[in-house]
Amino acid sequence: MKTSLLARWLLALSLGCAATLAAAAGYPDKPVKIIVSLPPGSGADTTARFLARHLSEKLGQPFLVDNRPGADSFIAARAVATAPADGYTMFVASNSPMVTNVAVFRQLPYDAVKDFQPLARIARFPMVLVVPANSPFKTLQDLVAAARLAPGKLNFGSGTATYRVALELLHERNQIKATAVPYKGTSAAMTDLAGGNIDYTMAEVSAVMPLVRGGKVRALAVAANERIKELPQVPTVGESGTPGYESYAWTGVFFPAGVPEPVLARASQAIKELMESDEAKAFITLQGGAVFYGAPQAFGEFQRAEIEKTRRIVKTANIGYED
């Protein structure tokens, strides 16, 4: 009797494995949705559309970008976290929903680690501090001096939690205070900055360059360890009186947790091959960033390390938790 039960259990297990392998072999056999938590024009959106086009060509099924901005990326992250773990929902996310929110908010409607399967780290973009084109501030030192004279008078836009943390850390390093103005996304913050409705903001380089080139905003400093070719005349934050300060936005791809290993492997390999191509390197460079590829396991380890680092920054900079 026991032998019969064991045989049936082994048969069921083998059939289940066979079904999983068959599904993976045919993956994808229908359109794949790529959810993005930021609006069109953001770095994550631009990256998602590049991935969608190439994965569609490589894997033979449409990969469709679905923008779901707002609520500090809660809407998009929750949608992915609760989606079926079958490989047909992806999340192209920045560090805001997957790292910074964990450190900043007391409660989240998703678990950034347990609810997701890291698929591939994609790219990294340095942040840039910008002001309106007609701003009286010509340098970061000018802005810091004005903020010290009138604590809290200047206001700054934060399109994501990551930008808020980056700016608050800059404030802490320079012992200044300013008033935060939250936005639903980077594009909205940049539009208001160009219109002179806020005094300054920080965003990744691909988001600021169109307005810099158009003469709508002025770059004061780059939050990288060296100057970048897109803005060769703009000093780093370190050169501008805040040594050791760096801040980057990165993008990566996640599945809901529990996606079958063969599906994960097939999708991961497709993205790896794409990100190692000259076309991908040229595309990311054109956006002002650099390819920052990481395989699933390495990406997961990186994410967890980034969460702990950001928690330390939040505590050091005395950034209050959000409800």
The predicted pLDDT at position 21 comes to 52
Residue 92 and residue 160 in one domain: no
Q: Is the pLDDT of residue 13 over 70?
A: no
Backbone dihedral angles phi then psi of residue 65, each to the nearest 5 degrees: -80, 130
Q: What is the DSSP string of 215-263?
A: TSEEEEEE-SSS--TTSTTSPBTTTTT-TT---EEEEEEEEETT--HHH
Confidence of residue 88 (pLDDT cuts 50, 70, 90): very high
C-alpha–C-alpha distance, residues 127 and 130, integer Å = 10
Q: Which of 31, 51, 60, 46 shows the shortest CA–CA distance to 274?
A: 51
The predicted pLDDT at position 16 comes to 47
Beta bridge partners of 127: 204
The predicted pLDDT at position 114 comes to 97
User: Is 74 among the domain residues?
Assistant: yes
Q: What is the DSSP string of 43-63?
A: HHHHHHHHHHHHHHHHHSS-E
* Structure confidence by residue, pLDDT tens digits, 22-67: 556 689 999 999 999 988 877 788 899 999 999 999 999 999 999 9
* Structure confidence by residue, pLDDT tens digits, 200-247: 999 989 889 999 999 999 999 999 999 998 999 999 999 999 999 999
Q: Report strand pairing: 116-132 vs 217-222.
A: antiparallel
Residue 116 and residue 131 in one domain: no
Residue 87 and residue 146 in one domain: no
Domain interval for residue 268? 2-124+250-316
The predicted pLDDT at position 250 comes to 92
Residue 175: which CATH number? 3.40.190.10
The predicted pLDDT at position 316 comes to 74
User: Is 191 among the domain residues?
Assistant: yes
User: Is 40 among the domain residues?
Assistant: yes
Residue 107 and residue 207 in one domain: no
User: Is 60 among the domain residues?
Assistant: yes
Residue 110 and residue 132 in one domain: no
User: Is 276 among the domain residues?
Assistant: yes
**b/e burial code for range 109-119 (CB count within 10 A of at least 16 → b):** ebebeebbbbb
User: Is 321 among the domain residues?
Assistant: no
Q: What is the DSSP string of 254-322?
A: EEETT--HHHHHHHHHHHHHHHTSHHHHHHHHHTT-EEEEE-HHHHHHHHHHHHHHHHHHHHHTTPPPB
Please answer whether residues 258 and 233 qualify as being in contact, where contact means their C-beta atoms are separated by less than 8 angstroms: no
Residue 258 and residue 312 in one domain: yes
What secondary structure letter does DSSP report for 129? E
Residue 27 and residue 116 in one domain: yes
The answer for residues whose C-beta is within 8 angstroms of residue 65's C-beta and 6 or more apart is: 34, 36, 45, 48, 49, 52, 92
Which residue, 207, 222, 237, sits at the end of a domain?
Answer: 222
The pLDDT > 70 percentage for the chain reads: 90
Residue 9 and residue 119 in one domain: yes
The predicted pLDDT at position 5 comes to 54
Residue 110 and residue 148 in one domain: no
Cα distance between the two ends of the chain: 57
Geometric angle at alpha carbon 298, from 41 and 266, rounded to 5°: 75
Residue 302: which CATH number? 3.40.190.150
The answer for residues whose C-beta is within 8 angstroms of residue 33's C-beta and 6 or more apart is: 64, 66, 88, 89, 90
What secondary structure letter does DSSP report for 113? T
Residue 303 and residue 216 in one domain: no
Query: What SS3 string covers 153-190?
Result: CCEEEECCHHHHHHHHHHHHHHCCCCEEEECCCHHHHH
Total of domains in the chain: 2
Please answer whether residues 292 and 264 qualify as being in contact, where contact means their C-beta atoms are separated by less than 8 angstroms: no
Q: Is the pLDDT of residue 120 over 80?
A: yes
How large is the average pLDDT for residues 251-261? 97
User: Is 233 among the domain residues?
Assistant: no
The answer for residues whose C-beta is within 8 angstroms of residue 195's C-beta and 6 or more apart is: 132
Q: What is the mean pLDDT of the chain?
A: 90
Tokens coding 121: 């780290």
Which residue, 182, 205, 222, sits at the end of a domain?
Answer: 222
User: Is 29 among the domain residues?
Assistant: yes
Q: What Å distances lie between residue 272 and 11, 52, 264, 298, CA to CA? A: 35, 14, 12, 13
The predicted pLDDT at position 234 comes to 97
* Structure confidence by residue, pLDDT tens digits, 169-188: 999 999 999 999 988 778 88
What is the identity of the amino acid at 214? G
Residue 116 and residue 135 in one domain: no
Residue 69 and residue 52 in one domain: yes
